[in-house]
Amino acid sequence: MRARILSHPLFAAFFNLKGNQKVCVYTEPLWGIPFNLFTPYATLYMAALGLSDRSIGIVASVNMAFQIVFALLSGIITDKLGRKRTTFIFDTLSWSGACLIWAISQNFNYFLVAAMINGMARITMNSWSLILVEDCPEDDLVNVYAWIHIANFAAGFFAPLTGLIIHVFGLVPSMRAIYALGFIMMTAKFLIFNRFATETEQGKVRLQETKHDSILTLFRQYRGVLAAMLRTPQTLLALGIMMVMTITQLININFWPLLVTERLNIPVAWVGIFPFVRSAVMLTLYFLVAPRLSTKHFRNPMLLGFLMFIASQTLLITAPFQGFGLILISILLEAASLSLIDPLISSILVIAVDFRERARIMALIHTSVILFTSPFGWVAGTLSEIQRIFPFLINISLFVIGAALTVILAAQLKEEEPGIKVEV
């Protein structure tokens, strides 16, 4: 039995993890568990403290706006401080700090401040990703990303606990306690990560190269980096797909709980069941599907993923009052689609950029994504107040665009063969 488990490509990859990849994967649940505990109920918590749909949308948009600033600075900060130091400092500020504020929040102003602080997470999204992928063989990228996603999906199994706690103690006291737990677990994660992670080889190179350059000088150099990025069609197409996924995630995280509880009348205590089911399905599918995914054959799996996403959102907005069954099917389709799209787009994006300027190119990519998507929090909040299903009609339209961009990207990469050899 053990031999059969070890022979599975994903398990083999897991037990062969070394260095930073091992640290990243093994510590991820300490962040993922509290994140999955409080995320499904975050908007309900805000609503319980008196925030309107429009106010919730404003908080989401302000968070995205601050992410724009920090995403743009992330490449410079990561090169100047190093991948490891940057990750520790700004993970602690953006997540531990935000959790403390969320735990004591009283009104809109608290959530606004927390949204600003949490925006710094965009800095570590860059630096942590570089620690994960730099010094990692390209052929191992999909499996490494698969295990990162698996760690977070497994953490999703804890989501129903929030519903049980809320049922016993009430929404607001329960969320305060869960945010406090998040502070403890995430801080522990950051301390352990900082103890065992090492600076990457490219990180050491960039530390030396930028040692005598001022922040202003490095910022001016963004012009050349941006020009190179704009001349690379495959990077722009991958950027478009990232934008699609970011906007739809923003909408789902903030307005899915409101739709199912207020329009479909699903009890608040049941909300955590759906992330649990989604995590279980995605966890299973990752072991079945991920070993068969490759950056060389990405078009058809991603198209299938977008098609299932469209079906998922269609079922959600057409579900009847207390239509638990259709919501469940919608969640299953969403889980299946994410298991196809997430590891592929993450891997394609990483290896499609120049490794020598990966920090600043990824900073520009993340900045572009947030700059374009940040207004959608306010837009979706405004539309949700008119009709709960309107934000999800936006999702369906975006998934159609994502599918079209995938077809074009596959053709572009096949023609130009820019480092990724694609066969479709």
pLDDT at 421: 40
Alpha helices for 197-298 (secondary structure H): 201-209, 215-220, 222-230, 233-258, 273-289
* Nearest of 302, 308, 352 to residue 141 by alpha carbon: 352
Nearest to 392 by CA among 261, 270, 278, 259: 259
Sign of CA dihedral 229, 129, 13, 8: negative
Residue 170 DSSP label: -
Q: Find out whether 136 and 23 touch, Cβ atoms under 8 Å.
A: no
Q: What is the pLDDT of residues 16-57, one digit of tens each?
A: 788 888 899 899 989 989 998 898 889 889 999 999 888 988
- The residue type found at 217 is T
Question: What's the average pLDDT block by block, 10 residues per block, for the chain (424 residues)?
Answer: 60 79 90 88 91 88 85 88 94 96 95 95 91 78 77 73 87 95 96 94 88 80 78 80 87 81 75 75 78 73 91 87 80 87 75 67 80 79 84 92 89 56 38
Instruction: Tell me the domain boundaries of the chain.
Output: 15-416
pLDDT digits 0-9 by tens, 383-403: 888 888 888 999 999 999 999
**C-alpha distances out from residue 104 to 44, 79, 157, 201, 339, Å:** 15, 35, 26, 41, 35
Report the C-alpha gap between 251 and 391 in whole angstroms: 7
CATH top-level class of 15-416: mainly alpha
Check if the beta carbon of residue 154 is closer than 8 Å to that of residue 36: no
Residue count of the chain, please give it: 424
